[in-house]
Amino acid sequence: DTGVSQNPRHKITKRGQNVTFRCDPISEHNRLYWYRQTLGQGPEFLTYFQNEAQLEKSRLLSDRFSAERPKGSFSTLEIQRTEQGDSAMYLCASSWLTRGSQETQYFGPGTRLLVL
Amino acid sequence: DAKTTQPNSMESNEEEPVHLPCNHSTISGTDYIHWYRQLPSQGPEYVIHGLTSNVNNRMASLAIAEDRKSSTLILHRATLRDAAVYYCILHNSGGSNYKLTFGKGTLLTVNP
C-alpha cells in the first residue's frame, strides 16, 4: 500500500478563483478526514466521511467549501471564490475503524494552497 | 474536548533520550492519550497511544501517570530524523470523538 496521496501538492491561485483538491485514501479505509493547517498551528478538523456519507462539517467549513466522496473511495475538496484567508495546508487522512479498537489516522502529505 | 498542555519547544542531542511531557488534567475516564508527530513538510504520523498502562512500540514509549493527568513520550535515542512537532491528543474513537483535536504541539530540535 502506498499510503494516502493528495493532489496537487501545491496550488497557487488568484483570489476569486475556484480550486479542487483530491485525496486518495488507503484502500479499504472506511473513514476519510479533511483538516486545514495554517502556519505555526496544529491541523484543524474540517469534515469527515464514513464510506460515502459526510457525517460532520466543522464551522470552519463555510458555504464556499464543499467535499465529496463518491462511491466511498477518493474524496475531493472544492473551494469556490477563494479568499486570501483560505491560504493554508489542506490535509487528508484516512482510517479503518473497527469496533473495540482505537483508530489510527493516516495522513497524506497535504496540498499547500496560496491565494494571491 | 479535553485540553492538553505541552511545552512549545524542546531541544535534544543526537543519540540521547528525549522525554516530551504532556499535561491533561481534565482527561475523562474514556479518553486515550494519542501522540502524533509532524516532520517538516509532511502530514502528521501516528506515534503511539495508551489508556492507563505504559506502552512501548518500535518508535517510542509512552509513560502515563497513575492519576492519568499527565504523560510522557519517550524517544530512547533521538536521531536527526526525529526532529518534528509532537502532538499529544486526547481521543476516544470508540465514542463520538472521531476527530483529532490538535494543539500547537512541541517542536523538538535534535542537535548533531
What residue type is B65 in one-letter code? A
Does B40 contact A at CB distance below 8 Å? no
pLDDT of A98 > 90? The answer is: no
**Cβ-proximal residues to B103 (8 Å cutoff; 6+ apart), any chain:** A42, B3, B4, B5, B6, B87, B88, B89
pLDDT of A100 > 90? The answer is: no
Beta bridge partners of B23: B5, B70
CB contact under 8 A, B99 and A48: yes
Determine the residue among B100, B101, B107 to mutate to test chain A binding: the one whose Cβ has the most chain A Cβ atoms within 10 Å: B100
The count of C-alpha atoms lying within 13 angstroms of the C-alpha of A108, restricted to the half-sphere facing its C-beta, is 28
Alpha-carbon distance of B70 to A18, in angstroms, equals 44
CB contact under 8 A, B98 and A31: yes
Shortest Cα distance, chain B CAs vs residue A12, angstroms? 17
- Mode of pairing for the β-strands spanning A31-37 and B18-23: unpaired
Beta bridge partners of A36: A44, A90
**Cβ-proximal residues to B27 (8 Å cutoff; 6+ apart), any chain:** B2, B33, B68, B69, B90
Chain B residues inside the 8 Å CB shell of A106: 45-46
CB B12: neighbour CB atoms within 10 A? 20
pLDDT tens for each residue of A18-62: 999 999 999 989 999 999 999 999 999 999 999 999 998 998 888
Confidence of residue B95 (pLDDT cuts 50, 70, 90): low
pLDDT tens for each residue of B6-56: 999 999 999 999 999 999 999 988 899 999 999 999 999 999 999 999 999
Mean pLDDT of chain B: 93
Mean pLDDT of chain A: 93
Nine cell digits for residue A53: 456519507
